[in-house]
């Protein structure tokens, strides 16, 4: 995160990177709106919401980060969508990416899941760590979660996989996380944005070329942030379900927007989602490093 107080000199920019963590995207969006956050790795639905709420002014998606890595994990004995009728299903946060995907999928299976918790299936938004404990204790019967939480439910809590979200998307590709920045940062300090993207592109190359080392670094960061490590088998399983990519996979974001609007979480109001992307700096960095540029149409 780039903080106010860093140099605004675009010729010789200096900056201090301070990293903050959020349980889910909607909380990060509020921090962006409040000016306490300049850039965030975030899921598609909170980014769409930020863009639409600000009438296309507040944020821009400047790069992709990950595809895949989300799943619906259920208790043994739940073998079909219809078996979820009358059950309680956890999602990370009301209106976040997995929450919207879960509700849209349930709707496609002929079941209602209202934001109030009413309907054929009760969707219970709660933090990922709480969802794991709720699943273990029997308070929820299933959860649609991102990695590594989906793998933790499978390997640590006796769950079984009902839906790998990749099966719902063309080519198994859908944006799970991308990099967004405040629009003001793009206009006032493009050099700083380009520096951020150079680091991002290098990190993406690194995790794809040296996955074992990258997993070790992730584990070290988790220990520093939480005081705990992931069991090796959980980390390996979660990693296999993720694709690290600079491509923001724009078509999947537009589908997420349609789903959120259909569920009543979003009023598009004629806002053109094409404007949410600004990948000019990304494509400059990709060209510098001999990589293929990305498209958003």
Residues contacting residue 168 through CB under 8 Å, at least 6 positions apart = 101, 105, 174
CATH number, domain 25-67+172-288: 3.40.190.10
Cα–Cα dist 15/43, whole Å: 25
97: tokens are 């990416």
Contact call for residues 132 and 153 (beta carbons, < 8 A): yes
Query: What is the model's pLDDT at position 154?
Result: 97
Query: What is the model's pLDDT at position 227?
Result: 85
> According to CATH, where is 3.40.190.10 located in the chain?
25-67+172-288, 70-171
Query: What is the model's pLDDT at position 270?
Result: 67
Nearest CA to 284 out of 201, 207, 182 is that of 201
By residue count, the chain amounts to 297
Cα–Cα dist 281/171, whole Å: 27
CATH topology of domain 70-171: D-Maltodextrin-Binding Protein; domain 2 (3.40.190)
Average pLDDT by consecutive 10-residue portion of the chain (297 residues)? 42 63 76 85 88 90 96 97 96 89 96 90 94 97 96 96 96 93 90 93 95 91 84 92 95 90 81 88 94 89
pTM of the prediction? Answer: 0.84
């Amino acid at each position: 995160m780039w903080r106010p107080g860093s140099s605004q000199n675009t010729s010789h920019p200096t900056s201090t990177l301070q990293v903050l963590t959020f349980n889910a995207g909607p909380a990060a969006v509020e921090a962006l709106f409040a000016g306490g956050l300049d850039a965030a790795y975030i899921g598609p639905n909170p980014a769409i919401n930020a863009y639409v709420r600000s009438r296309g002014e507040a944020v821009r998606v400047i790069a992709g980060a990950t595809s895949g890595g989300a799943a619906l994990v259920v208790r043994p004995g739940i073998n079909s969508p219809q078996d979820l009728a009358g059950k309680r299903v956890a999602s990370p946060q009301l209106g976040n990416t997995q929450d919207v995907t879960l509700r849209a999928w349930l709707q496609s299976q002929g079941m209602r899941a209202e934001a109030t918790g009413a309907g054929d299936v009760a969707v219970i938004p709660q933090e990922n760590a709480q969802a794991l404990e709720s699943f273990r204790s029997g308070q929820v019967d299933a959860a649609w979660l991102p990695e590594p939480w989906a793998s933790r439910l499978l390997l640590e809590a006796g769950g079984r996989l009902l839906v790998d979200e990749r099966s719902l998307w063309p080519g198994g590709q859908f944006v799970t996380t991308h990099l967004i920045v405040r629009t003001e940062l793009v206009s006032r300090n493009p050099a700083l944005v380009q520096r951020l993207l150079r680091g991002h592109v290098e990190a993406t190359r690194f995790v794809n070329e040296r996955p074992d080392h990258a997993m070790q670094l992730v584990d070290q960061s988790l220990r520093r942030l939480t005081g705990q490590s992931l069991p090796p088998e959980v980390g390996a399983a979660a990693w296999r379900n993720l694709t690290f990519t600079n491509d923001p996979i724009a078509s999947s974001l537009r589908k997420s927007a349609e789903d959120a609007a259909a569920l009543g979480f979003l009023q598009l109001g004629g806002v053109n989602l094409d404007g949410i992307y600004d990948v000019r700096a990304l494509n400059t960095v990709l060209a510098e490093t001999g990589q293929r540029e990305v498209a958003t149409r």
